Amino acid sequence: MRTVSTPPIFRLFASPYALLTMACLMWAGNWVAARAIRLDSGPNVMALGRWMVALLIIMPLAWPHLRRDWPVIRANRWLLVLLSVIGGAGYNALSYAGVAHTTAINAMLLNATVPFFIMGLSWLALGETMRRSQIVGMMLCFAGAFWVIVAGDMTRAATLAFNPGDLIVCLAMLLWAAYTVLIIKRPFAIHPTSFVAVLSLISVLALVPLVAWEAGARQLNLTPTVIACYIYMGIGPSVLCFLFWNRGVAAIGPNRSGMFLNLVPVLGSVLSVIVLGERPQVYHALGFALVLGGLAVGNRRRT
């Protein structure tokens, strides 16, 4: 009897490491897109547009599972509301508000602080401690991300200017760390698409009052570029990233998953090379090597 081998693409999507990497790649694009349309769309409207697109996409896929999962959803409704408010509505609204007042580089640098937040919250909430290899790996990852941000010139570190927008982004990163730690508490009896559908719906409902308040302060300029960014944000950084991230955290835990967020600034520089036509530099390769080395050390299995 001939055995049927699993196609490589399915083996790729079964790997939590590949899923976490793809999520970080799409999130790097999210920072670039948010910065590009910040003058045409307010942060709350941007977040609402993103989650409305996500809801329209995920609901037809999740509907059969939602009917089956409804008793479990009702029993865990307050946990799902909390996860949606901090990981969906709150995190995105604060991220977009922050990036409207700071640079994408600063935002991605602050994104690299999330593993440290996750480590502290995991210790406080779950009693988890990090092994020496995980601490070394995390520091290597952060060094690689920082090396890319300063373009291989440490003297640039002194010229990095921070402003109130950075504080807002930092608060958003704290919310994402809390989401990553709490996500392992979600009921795994709920189908992944059901979970993202519930998160999308609650995020939309939570953002509507903020959008109503924001509407009186600024005007939405709904250009084709803005619509295209909404569609990208809804499909990639919302639906796919949340499915990938939740699966990766469930497989290897919040501490090890958090280290992958150091890929965001590195992959952001790769996107700049591909999308904006910027020339690849030696510091890109060195920073990427440091991050990959840190991930390898931090995710090493115990003997």
pLDDT digits (tens, 9 = 90+) for 55-82: 999 999 999 999 999 999 999 999 999 9
Higher per-residue pLDDT: 133 or 303: 133
Model confidence pLDDT, tens digit, residues 193-205: 999 999 999 999 9
* 3-class SS letters over 63-128: HHHHHHHHHHHHHCHHHHHHHHHHHHHHHHHHHHHHHCCCCHHHHHHHHCCHHHHHHHHHHHHHCC
Average pLDDT over all residues of the chain: 80
pLDDT at position 197, please? 94
pLDDT at position 54, please? 94
What crossing angle do the helices spanning 132-149 and 263-275 adopt, rounded to 10°?
30
**Portion of the chain with pLDDT greater than 70, in percent:** 79
Model confidence pLDDT, tens digit, residues 105-143: 667 667 777 777 787 787 777 666 667 777 777 777 777
Q: Examine the pLDDT at 95 and tell me if it is beyond 50.
A: yes
- Is-contact 108 268, C-beta < 8 A? yes
pLDDT at position 4, please? 43
What crossing angle do the helices spanning 263-275 and 104-111 adopt, rounded to 10°?
150
Could you tell me the residue ranges of all domains in the chain? 18-298
- Other residues' Cβ atoms within 10 Å of the Cβ of residue 285: 12
Model's pTM, two decimal places? 0.79
pLDDT at position 118, please? 80
Mention every residue, 6+ apart, whose C-beta is less than 8 A from residue 273.
Answer: 279, 280, 284
pLDDT grade, residue 34 (50/70/90)? confident
pLDDT grade, residue 2 (50/70/90)? very low
* Distances in whole angstroms, Cα of residue 283 to Cα of each of 27, 29, 141, 184, 231: 21, 20, 14, 36, 32
Model confidence pLDDT, tens digit, residues 206-257: 999 988 887 766 667 788 888 999 999 999 999 999 999 989 888 888 877 8
Rounded to whole angstroms, the Cα distance separating 138 from 180 reads 16
Query: Which of 42-46, 111-115, 160-164, 240-244 is modeled with the greatest confidence?
Result: 240-244
pLDDT at position 10, please? 47
Looking at residue 22, what DSSP letter applies?
A: H
pLDDT grade, residue 3 (50/70/90)? very low
pLDDT at position 161, please? 65
Look at residues 159, 96, 164, 144 and name the one whose alpha carbon lies nearest to residue 287: 144
